[in-house]
Structure 1
């Protein structure tokens, strides 16, 4: 495998990274909010915008001089292998978002194992690098999936960033730890999405729709609290479709899903640029290197040739 050189400005940023920047690489029609109105078998016939939007994200990161983690669907990598190579060649970390954006808590252990194995094989073949990180679609790992972290370890992953310690109608595990932890002794390390503790509950401070809907000053204050008062790194995430104001409108989706999906999309690029400037950023594997290093060596990992 050909080694990839990281630009000096990106390498410098790695040494002072305080928060982890991540992108969940999926297209607009693959989101959970549209799952009940857009059949999976129609995906290949829709307006796929993920390649162009992810290229735009890469451009934003290049301008900001940061390295990030791209949690990518195997479905996307299978259809756009050159995009995966561009992510890797830009010096970013390639990670798995599963294959087909199926909720972990709905498919069970056997299908989950097949899904993450299939996705990792496709991603590694396309990118020519090892894939060690995983993020579950719709943060669907939690109390109902006690087997998930053990299976991830058995399949060669080193860490998961799949738990969101908040209350939400589609996801959330508010009673799980807010910091890096190992849910199962034999499993991978879990790096939960960032929250702030206030008013007796966990408030989201990680990105996505929360970032688009909340006042920027409030979000910035929350992340600064995590960094300066709690003394720990945060995790930010967003999707390529969140910077695409021209994406198709799914009018037959319910009103709440449309509100969550489209609100703030037009203003997302300048807000993102401001966030990239206001904080220092790095990839998951850099920012949480110490936590990930505590994970056991991958078992059953395919050998990668350098």
Structure 2
């Protein structure tokens, strides 16, 4: 079974863990490492012969247009991650619509291909944003991968489905969560990112195998900064943020290589038709 491979293109200083420590106004003065890290990701994918989906910040695309062209020229899908990593629940519906429109225009202009997918920064589509899917549908998005059906202190919509679901009765838009696993009656995040860095490789492999046995493709995500152990350290960040952000950086590239070899991978949009056929309607009030 083919699984969905995705990358959230953002730099080390743009993550949610540091949003209260690093001011957005200071971003232009910080050391940008996203281009070099993305090139390393592109090399990993090329070596494995796999295509993926790059959910990209408009802020990054504006500054590295040649990187966007390299992503597209290598056969990968270009998708939206919003403009500057502002969480959806920090915006009004109108502000969210403007953010989507601005970012899409940047990505399509640079990439020369339609942008059909969206992933909210920090999986920030949840119970606080009941209007988010309607805005995405109005703007013509085919899919979102923005809801995490887990309990987490930064995000999460625990009651939402673990597999692709249809959030609106009159729209073909689907919501496709990243991979989770059911363990002892709890839903655990298992689709990459910090959980992949912090936990043994065997857990991620087991979760993907289990998802495939259930008849569903897994969807994996990670960030380019996660394969960069030499990135700057944020000395005044909270201890929990430091642990989450820096643990396992030196092992991440090796884990990714194993995953790319152990499973079949493709772009999210290549799996979209099958996901839409299987997606079931679900609403929070149901």
- Confirm or deny a common fold (TM above 0.5): yes
Task: Tell me the secondary structure at the aligned position of residue 174 of structure 1.
Answer: coil
- Deviation digits for residues 109-136 of structure 1 (CA, Å, limit 9, x no counterpart): 0110000100000000000000000000
Give the number of equivalent residue pairs: 278
Q: How many Å apart are 1:294 and its aligned residue?
A: 9.0
Tell me which residue corresponds to 1:89. 73
Tell me which residue corresponds to 1:5. none
The answer to whether structure 1 residue 55 and structure 2 residue 48 are counterparts is no
Provide the C-alpha distance between the structure 1 equivalents of 2:24 and 2:131, rounded to a whole number of angstroms.
26
Task: Tell me the secondary structure at the aligned position of residue 202 of structure 1.
Answer: strand
* Correspondent of 2:184 among 199, 208, 223: 199
Q: How many Å apart are 1:287 and its aligned residue?
A: 2.2
Task: Tell me the secondary structure at the aligned position of residue 230 of structure 2.
Answer: coil
Provide the C-alpha distance between the structure 2 equivalents of 1:103 and 1:112, rounded to a whole number of angstroms.
9
The answer to whether structure 1 residue 248 and structure 2 residue 215 are counterparts is no
- Deviation digits for residues 11-32 of structure 1 (CA, Å, limit 9, x no counterpart): xxxxxx5110000000000000
- Deviation digits for residues 82-124 of structure 1 (CA, Å, limit 9, x no counterpart): 1001000000000000001000011120110000100000000
Q: Is the 2:147–2:177 contact (alpha carbons within 8 Å) kept by the matching residues of 1? A: yes
- Deviation digits for residues 55-75 of structure 1 (CA, Å, limit 9, x no counterpart): 100000000000100000000
Provide the C-alpha distance between the structure 1 equivalents of 2:166 and 2:276, rounded to a whole number of angstroms.
10
Provide the C-alpha distance between the structure 1 equivalents of 2:134 and 2:153, rounded to a whole number of angstroms.
26
Q: Is the 1:81–1:126 contact (alpha carbons within 8 Å) kept by the matching residues of 2? A: yes
Matches within 5 A, 1:147-226: 147-187=131-171, 188-226=173-211
Flag structure 1 segments of 5+ consecutive residues without an equivalent: 1-16, 296-306
Q: Is the 1:153–1:186 contact (alpha carbons within 8 Å) kept by the matching residues of 2? A: no
Task: Tell me the secondary structure at the aligned position of residue 78 of structure 2.
Answer: strand
Tell me which residue corresponds to 2:245. 261
- Segments of 4+ moved more than 6 angstroms: none
Provide the C-alpha distance between the structure 2 equivalents of 1:102 and 1:54, rounded to a whole number of angstroms.
21
Q: How many Å apart are 1:186 and its aligned residue?
A: 3.7
The answer to whether structure 1 residue 123 and structure 2 residue 103 are counterparts is no
Q: How many Å apart are 1:289 and its aligned residue?
A: 2.6
Flag structure 2 segments of 5+ consecutive residues without an equivalent: 280-286
Provide the C-alpha distance between the structure 2 equivalents of 1:83 and 1:167, rounded to a whole number of angstroms.
35
Provide the C-alpha distance between the structure 2 equivalents of 1:198 and 1:266, rounded to a whole number of angstroms.
28
* Correspondent of 2:8 among 24, 36, 43: 24
Tell me which residue corresponds to 1:114. 98
CA RMSD of aligned residues (A): 1.3
